[in-house]
Structure 1
Amino acid sequence: MNRLSETQDSIVHDQPGITRDRTYRYAYWQDREFSVVDTGGLVFDDDTEFLPLIREQVMVALAEATVAIFVVDGQTGLTGGDEAIAGWLREHSVPVLLAVNKCESPTAGLIQSMQFWELGLGNPFPLSSIHGSGTGELLDELIKYIPPADELEESEEIRVAIVGRPNVGKSSLLNAFLGENRAIVSPISGTTRDAIDTVVERNGKTYRLVDTAGIRRKKNVEYGAEFFGINRAFKAIRRANIVLLIIDAIDRVTEQDLKLANRILEEGRACVIVVNKWDTIEKDTYTILEYEREVKARLYFMDWAKTIFVSAITGQRVEKIIDLVDQAVAEHQRRVSTAVINEVIEEAVRWHSPPTTRQGKQGKIYYGTQVSSQPPTMVLFVNDPKRFNENYRRYMESQFRQQLGFLGTPIRLIWRGKPAREVERNTANRATKV
């Protein structure tokens, strides 16, 4: 996990059972960007302590996954536990890549990996997570299952996922868009189990609206239809261009709404916050302003998302949601030239210099460039990423937003160290091209 995401966020320890919940990190290889989900160790024949909960978390991760990496220990060799997991994985439709870890020696690693052919999961990839050897070959195979960003951008349809807690009016909102009862509407929470796709045209554009199951708190969800419905909702978020986060005006912003917003942010999706059931609220001149302030305060980490107050029952402002969707999707797909990005960096550094460490070493930003869209992702090449604290990173993100906009979409800044000689060479090459 740490090797693929180039972080040290996952705890590494010889004691089994350290990892319990699912941990999400961003990673990229060549022109592909994706999320890596770290899970706990699987044990099927033991129900003590946290092991049943860990199995549940692994099932959730696998239900969401495009491809799975099954990690085995090359030094320990093939075990009964490996065979049990391999048999379980073959029962699922998710493609599996077999990573044989702890193969520090290329020659010995090849020999160590040969025994894992017995698992019937295809070619074993010998690698060393600590040293990084062999991970490139694994990633080359991995990205075959992940479409390039350009392919996603070429899709003519705008994919809109409608998500929220149970009974906030997601299906009613879908029906209000269509002018027909496409989805079942009921006061009983949990009516929608499947992710329902509906295609609608507005102003010459095609939108695929996906009504999803209401997402309850994890501890309240039993394994079964609701479990799989929620996982289809998470998949809908991942494959969407934009997500409509539906909030109940009566309940206001709840803890579960915050978790859903975090999920949208983790997946890098554009978003519009839709406060539904606005017709049920007693209002005066200042009501909408007070509500908007409260929503922004609670969802402060998504202050880039537009908020709209609607009523799916009366149709109030429902059609205006499409305008906000178009604006957010355009920003989500937008690319900015390297020259403009470096102008923003120079201006930001002029107003606020990078921090200096206690040893007197100052951070330096050499240059930046946008490497992908959906969401807009910029790489900043610096002398040492560790010299830039969280405050300065947030400052740089705010400068990009102030100068370039990006309303309705998250943006990502990747801080990468770069040797001074390489920077000088690249700068000279750019000057020659100009």
Structure 2
Amino acid sequence: MSKPIIAIVGRPNVGKSTLFNRLVGKRTAIVEDVPGVTRDRQYGDGEVLGREFLAIDTGGFDPAAEDKLLAAMRDQAEIAMAEADVIVAIFDGKAGLTPADREITRLLNRGAKPVHYAVNKIDGFRHEPLVAEFWELGVDMLWPISAQHGAGVLDLFEAVAATLPEPRQGQQEVGEDVIKVAVVGKPNAGKSTLLNQLLGEERLLVSDVPGTTRDSIDTWLEVEAADEGSPARRYLMIDTAGVRRRKWIKSAVEKISVVRTFKSIDRADVCLLLIDATEGVTDQDAKIARLIADKGRGCVILLNKWDAVPDKSDRTIGEAVRDVRASLGFISWAPILSISAKTGQRAHKIMGLVDATEANRRRRISTGELNRFLDDLVQTHQPPIHNNRRV
């Protein structure tokens, strides 16, 4: 089931990170710091009034020049409107109302998502008059808060929880026997092409109206069983929505893809990590792989565009696999397959690897089996001696 997303937006130093930490709480650590195009942004799981969600601190930007600042605010607003279910916009009460605050309010009000406007750094009654000028924004409600001290924060969180969407009924009906598969990778790695190849049909993998749907489009995939008479295997292919509207691509595609990737990994059992074989493993590939490992999901690494790798020889695949293992040693357990999503080369082997990966992920090791493994390990690699005794 997909968790709703709460995005926190605002200028630098208005208290976004402080509010974010209160929102995710002490029970859940920040999941990952994922670099975007300008600054790092943080992601974390949280719960308010029994409702689980994914919180995003949209990060900072370079405020050196006003025109750059306003452009960054527009970029943040687009990301929030595209991916979030609920938006919390924060202003700095002590700094007063700024042109950037006016711009982001204007943009957020154009969208269809619920927006909660909070004036931060209102640390007591003597600061409450600072809220007055923010009513010039024409919003229905302003929440005076102190993210640092907690004043007013609970009221804001209750209002946010009240506007979180309910889980879609269709997602709740997915049985445990269904493997949920997310196709993830950096932009232009071939995700949409692979999905078309696996689904056996040409699909329009574009959601070009931000704010009209809460979740990515899921698609059922049925694969006939190898044994005659056995039922077909069903898979739920997650995040088949593909790219966003074309006019956003230059400014926000990488940021939006990070949010969508995180959301897909969170819902999946097994992730198909597409790596462009013509480029090798990049920093962005490694960050996505780390998200998969940290979430405890299964992973199949697909070296896509293998047909475009020049001057291949018998040693090329072995060298490519060694390079991947060297760069992604923390998921050394993940199988690697070279494919071409465009031509379908070896695509028929993918779902078999998904089955094997999920079976391994669900495997439970008995205590006796674990003890035998540890005994064998100790016999093979004796512990060091300290003060004439084995450690």
TM-score range relative to shorter protein: 0.5 to 0.7
SS in 2 for 1:322: helix
The CA deviation string for residues 188-243 of structure 1, in whole angstroms up to 9 with x for no partner, is xxxx786876432233424235446579xxxxxx9545556656644542442334
Kindly report which structure 2 residues correspond to 1:418-429, keeping only aligned pairs within 5 A, or say none: none
Q: Measured at CA, do residues 214 and 91 of structure 1 come closer, stay the same or move farther in structure 2, by a change above 3 Å?
A: closer
Contact 1:175–1:182, Cα closer than 8 Å, also in 2: yes
Offset of 1:21 from its aligned partner? 2.3
Kindly report which structure 2 residues correspond to 1:34-53, keeping only aligned pairs within 5 A, or say none: 34-40=54-60, 46-47=66-67, 50-51=68-69
Q: Could you tell me the TM-score, scaled by structure 2's length?
A: 0.60
Q: Measured at CA, do residues 280 and 207 of structure 1 come closer, stay the same or move farther in structure 2, by a change above 3 Å?
A: same
| Counterpart residue type for residue 93 of structure 1 | A
Q: Of the candidates 140, 151, 163, which is equivalent to residue 158 of structure 2? A: 140
In the alignment, structure 1 residue 23 sits paired with structure 2 residue 77: no
Q: Measured at CA, do residues 213 and 256 of structure 1 come closer, stay the same or move farther in structure 2, by a change above 3 Å?
A: farther
| Counterpart residue type for residue 236 of structure 2 | Y
Q: Measured at CA, do residues 230 and 183 of structure 1 come closer, stay the same or move farther in structure 2, by a change above 3 Å?
A: farther
Q: Measured at CA, do residues 326 and 132 of structure 1 come closer, stay the same or move farther in structure 2, by a change above 3 Å?
A: farther
SS in 2 for 1:174: helix
Contact 1:78–1:115, Cα closer than 8 Å, also in 2: yes
Counterparts of 2:117 and 2:221 in 1: how far apart (Å)? 42
The CA deviation string for residues 247-292 of structure 1, in whole angstroms up to 9 with x for no partner, is 12333223443355467678887643211244566453x6545433
Counterparts of 2:241 and 2:284 in 1: how far apart (Å)? 15
Offset of 1:173 from its aligned partner? 2.0
RMSD: 4.8
Consecutive unaligned residues of structure 1, counting only runs of 5 or more, are 10-19, 185-191, 216-221, 352-434
| Counterpart residue type for residue 4 of structure 1 | F
In the alignment, structure 1 residue 176 sits paired with structure 2 residue 197: yes
Offset of 1:90 from its aligned partner? 0.6
Contact 2:145–2:152, Cα closer than 8 Å, also in 1: yes
Q: Measured at CA, do residues 108 and 300 of structure 1 come closer, stay the same or move farther in structure 2, by a change above 3 Å?
A: farther
Counterparts of 1:268 and 1:54 in 2: how far apart (Å)? 34
| Counterpart residue type for residue 141 of structure 2 | N
Counterparts of 2:217 and 2:281 in 1: how far apart (Å)? 25
Counterparts of 2:293 and 2:169 in 1: how far apart (Å)? 22
What corresponds to 1:130 in structure 2?
148
Q: Of the candidates 241, 247, 253, which is equivalent to residue 281 of structure 2? A: 253
Contact 2:298–2:358, Cα closer than 8 Å, also in 1: yes
In the alignment, structure 1 residue 201 sits paired with structure 2 residue 217: no
What corresponds to 1:87 in structure 2?
106
Kindly report which structure 2 residues correspond to 1:182-193, keeping only aligned pairs within 5 A, or say none: 182=203
Counterparts of 1:149 and 1:76 in 2: how far apart (Å)? 38
Offset of 1:92 from its aligned partner? 2.4
SS in 1 for 2:237: strand
What corresponds to 2:272 in structure 1?
244
Contact 1:167–1:214, Cα closer than 8 Å, also in 2: no
Counterparts of 1:81 and 1:252 in 2: how far apart (Å)? 40
Offset of 1:84 from its aligned partner? 4.0
Q: Could you tell me the TM-score, scaled by structure 1's length?
A: 0.55
Per mean C-alpha deviation after superposition, the further-off stretch among 254-263 and 271-280 is 254-263
Q: Measured at CA, do residues 316 and 4 of structure 1 come closer, stay the same or move farther in structure 2, by a change above 3 Å?
A: same
Counterparts of 2:189 and 2:60 in 1: how far apart (Å)? 33
Task: Give aligned-pair identity as a percent.
Answer: 32
Counterparts of 2:130 and 2:170 in 1: how far apart (Å)? 39
What corresponds to 2:338 in structure 1?
309
Q: Measured at CA, do residues 129 and 313 of structure 1 come closer, stay the same or move farther in structure 2, by a change above 3 Å?
A: closer
Q: Measured at CA, do residues 268 and 126 of structure 1 come closer, stay the same or move farther in structure 2, by a change above 3 Å?
A: farther
Q: Of the candidates 77, 91, 97, which is equivalent to residue 72 of structure 1? A: 91
| Counterpart residue type for residue 350 of structure 2 | I
Q: Of the candidates 86, 98, 102, which is equivalent to residue 121 of structure 2? A: 102
Offset of 1:297 from its aligned partner? 1.8
Contact 2:192–2:242, Cα closer than 8 Å, also in 1: no
| Counterpart residue type for residue 175 of structure 1 | N
SS in 1 for 2:66: coil
Counterparts of 1:85 and 1:313 in 2: how far apart (Å)? 41
Q: Measured at CA, do residues 201 and 118 of structure 1 come closer, stay the same or move farther in structure 2, by a change above 3 Å?
A: farther
SS in 1 for 2:203: coil
Counterparts of 2:249 and 2:184 in 1: how far apart (Å)? 17
The CA deviation string for residues 336-380 of structure 1, in whole angstroms up to 9 with x for no partner, is 9xxx9xx99xx9xxx9xxxxxxxxxxxxxxxxxxxxxxxxxxxxx
Counterparts of 1:214 and 1:150 in 2: how far apart (Å)? 22
Q: Measured at CA, do residues 83 and 248 of structure 1 come closer, stay the same or move farther in structure 2, by a change above 3 Å?
A: closer
What corresponds to 2:327 in structure 1?
298
Offset of 1:329 from its aligned partner? 6.4
Counterparts of 1:143 and 1:328 in 2: how far apart (Å)? 36
How many equivalent pairs are there?
Answer: 313
Contact 1:168–1:276, Cα closer than 8 Å, also in 2: yes
Consecutive unaligned residues of structure 2, counting only runs of 5 or more, are 1-16, 31-37, 209-215, 224-231, 379-391
Counterparts of 2:188 and 2:344 in 1: how far apart (Å)? 17
Q: Measured at CA, do residues 114 and 22 of structure 1 come closer, stay the same or move farther in structure 2, by a change above 3 Å?
A: same
Counterparts of 2:76 and 2:44 in 1: how far apart (Å)? 18
Offset of 1:57 from its aligned partner? 4.5
Q: Of the candidates 322, 326, 342, which is equivalent to residue 351 of structure 2? A: 322
Q: Measured at CA, do residues 57 and 181 of structure 1 come closer, stay the same or move farther in structure 2, by a change above 3 Å?
A: closer
Counterparts of 1:53 and 1:80 in 2: how far apart (Å)? 12
Contact 1:67–1:145, Cα closer than 8 Å, also in 2: yes
